[in-house]
Structure 1
Amino acid sequence: MSNRKAELEILITDLNERLSRYEAHQQRKGGALDKDSEKQAQQVQNDEVVDSLEEETRSELAQIKTALERIDQGLGGQCEKCGEAIDSRRLQVLPYTTVCVACAEG
């Protein structure tokens, strides 16, 4: 379980760095919008993509924090819905999951 916890903590660091880059993009730290309207339209489109990526990253961070809390409580390998053990293969693929395959599909 400690390997999973370490992996999740590394993921948190990586995701926080990613969020910093997204925030820098949104704050136009690279410069203001271009004066050319076509380029401006492309930059606005890029902003929408970055917004979406930022939202996904924040969601993933919340899931990781929940998984870490469950690990600290001794419940990290147990499905939060049905209480059954989460298959170790699933945890390898999705280390921050808190539900077994059956509950995820249901």
Structure 2
Amino acid sequence: MTDRKSELEALKADVQARLNRYHAHQNREDGALDKDFEEQATQTQNDEVVDSLESEARAELAQIEHALERINNGVGDECESCGEDIDPRRLQVLPYTTLCVDCAGD
């Protein structure tokens, strides 16, 4: 389980770094909007994409933190729905899952 915990910690750091980049983009840390109207339109569209990516990253971070909390509580390998062990192959592919394949499909 420590390998999975290490993997989740690394994943958490990666997601937090992405969130920092999204935040920097949204705060225009690389400069204000371009004076050209067409370029402003492109930058505004990019903002919408970054907002969407940020939402996905925040959701992923919440899943990672939840999985880490379950590991710390000693139940990280158990399905939180049915209580059965989660297949290690599933955990290898999706380390922050908290559901076995059967419960995830319901």
Q: Identify the residue that residue 79 of structure 1 maps to in structure 2.
A: 79
Q: Identify the residue that residue 26 of structure 2 maps to in structure 1.
A: 26
- Name the amino acid aligned to 2:76: G
User: Once the 2 structures are TM-superposed, how far is the Cα of residue 79 of structure 1 from its aligned partner?
Assistant: 0.4
Q: Identify the residue that residue 42 of structure 1 maps to in structure 2.
A: 42
Task: Give the Cα separation in 2 of the matches to 1:35 and 1:102.
Answer: 54
Identity value in percent: 67
User: Once the 2 structures are TM-superposed, how far is the Cα of residue 22 of structure 1 from its aligned partner?
Assistant: 0.4
- Name the amino acid aligned to 1:58: R
User: Once the 2 structures are TM-superposed, how far is the Cα of residue 42 of structure 1 from its aligned partner?
Assistant: 0.5
The root-mean-square deviation of aligned C-alpha atoms, in Å, is 0.6
- Name the amino acid aligned to 1:74: G
- Residue pairs, 1:46-65, within 5 angstroms: 46-65=46-65
Structure 1: segments with no counterpart, 5+ residues: none
- Name the amino acid aligned to 2:14: D
Deviations along 1:7-58, one digit per CA (max 9) or x if unpaired, are 0001111111111100000000111111111111100000001001111111
Deviations along 1:39-81, one digit per CA (max 9) or x if unpaired, are 1110000000100111111111110110011111111010001
Q: Structure 1-normalised TM-score? A: 0.97
Structure 2: segments with no counterpart, 5+ residues: none
Task: Give the number of aligned pairs.
Answer: 106
Q: Structure 2-normalised TM-score? A: 0.97
